[in-house]
Amino acid sequence: MSTTPQIKTWRPWLVFAGCCVLSFIGFGLIVNTQGLYFTALSEEFGVGRSQVALPLSIEQITAAITMLFAGALLKKIDSRIIISICIVLSGGVFILGSTFTAIWQFDVAFAILGAAYVIPIALTPAVLLSNWFQKKLGTVMGIGMGISGIGGAIFNPVVSNLITTQGWRTAYLITGIAVLVCILPFSIFALKFAPNPAKGELPYGYEAQADNDATTAATAQGIDAKKAFLTRTFIFLSVAIIIQQFSNSLLQHISAHEVQYGFTLSQGALVMTGTLLGAAAGKMLIGILLDHLKPAIVISIFTCVGILGWGGLLFSHMQVTSIAAGLFAGIGQGFVLVGIPWIIRNSFGPKDYSTILSIISMFGSFANAALTTLHGTLFDATGSYVTSISGGIVIYVLAAALVIAAYAGRPYRDNNAIADSKQ
Of 257-266, 283-292, 315-324, 394-403, which range is least confident? 257-266
pLDDT at res. 131 = 85
* pLDDT score of 57 more than 50: yes
> Chain-wide mean pLDDT for the chain?
83
* pLDDT score of 218 more than 50: no
- As a whole number of angstroms, the distance between CA 12 and CA 192 comes to 9
Alpha-carbon distances, residue 319 vs 265, 295, 390 (angstroms): 12, 34, 20
pLDDT at res. 220 = 58
pLDDT at res. 284 = 85
Provide, for the chain, the percentages of residues in helix, strand and coil under a 3-state DSSP scheme, each rounded to the nearest 5.
Answer: 80, 0, 20
Task: Tell me whether residue 199 is in a domain.
Answer: no
Mark out the alpha helices in 167-222 (DSSP H runs): 168-189, 214-219
Contacts of 198 (CB under 8 A, 6+ apart): 5
Task: Tell me whether residue 203 is in a domain.
Answer: no
Q: Are 287 and 142 in contact (CB under 8 A)?
A: yes
Q: What is the CATH number of the domain that holds 412?
A: 1.20.1250.20
**Average pLDDT for residues 84-97, to the nearest whole number?**
94
Task: Tell me whether residue 201 is in a domain.
Answer: no
- As a whole number of angstroms, the distance between CA 64 and CA 339 comes to 20
Please indicate whether residue 258 or residue 223 has the higher confidence score (pLDDT): 223
pLDDT at res. 414 = 66
Task: Tell me whether residue 205 is in a domain.
Answer: no
Task: Tell me whether residue 162 is in a domain.
Answer: yes
- As a whole number of angstroms, the distance between CA 253 and CA 392 comes to 13
Task: Tell me whether residue 202 is in a domain.
Answer: no
Res. 99 pLDDT band, cuts 50 70 90: very high
> What is the dihedral sign for C-alpha 237, 238, 240, 245?
positive
- As a whole number of angstroms, the distance between CA 388 and CA 394 comes to 10
Res. 207 pLDDT band, cuts 50 70 90: low
* pLDDT score of 209 more than 50: no
List the one residue out of 56, 68, 27 whose CA is nearest residue 362: 68
Dump pLDDT digits (tens) for 350-404: 888 888 988 898 888 788 777 877 887 888 788 778 888 888 888 888 999 999 9
Distance of CA 15 to the CA centre of its chain: 18
List the one residue out of 417, 385, 402, 418 whose CA is nearest residue 303: 402
Most confident of 67-71, 165-169, 385-389: 165-169
Number of structural domains in the chain:
1
Task: Tell me whether residue 345 is in a domain.
Answer: yes
- Can you give the residue range of the structural domain that contains 137? 11-193+218-421
Dump pLDDT digits (tens) for 269-302: 778 778 878 888 888 888 889 888 899 999 999 9
Mark out the alpha helices in 249-318 (DSSP H runs): 254-260, 265-290, 295-315
pLDDT at res. 252 = 67
Task: Tell me whether residue 356 is in a domain.
Answer: yes
Percent share of the chain, pLDDT over 90:
22
- As a whole number of angstroms, the distance between CA 74 and CA 122 comes to 13
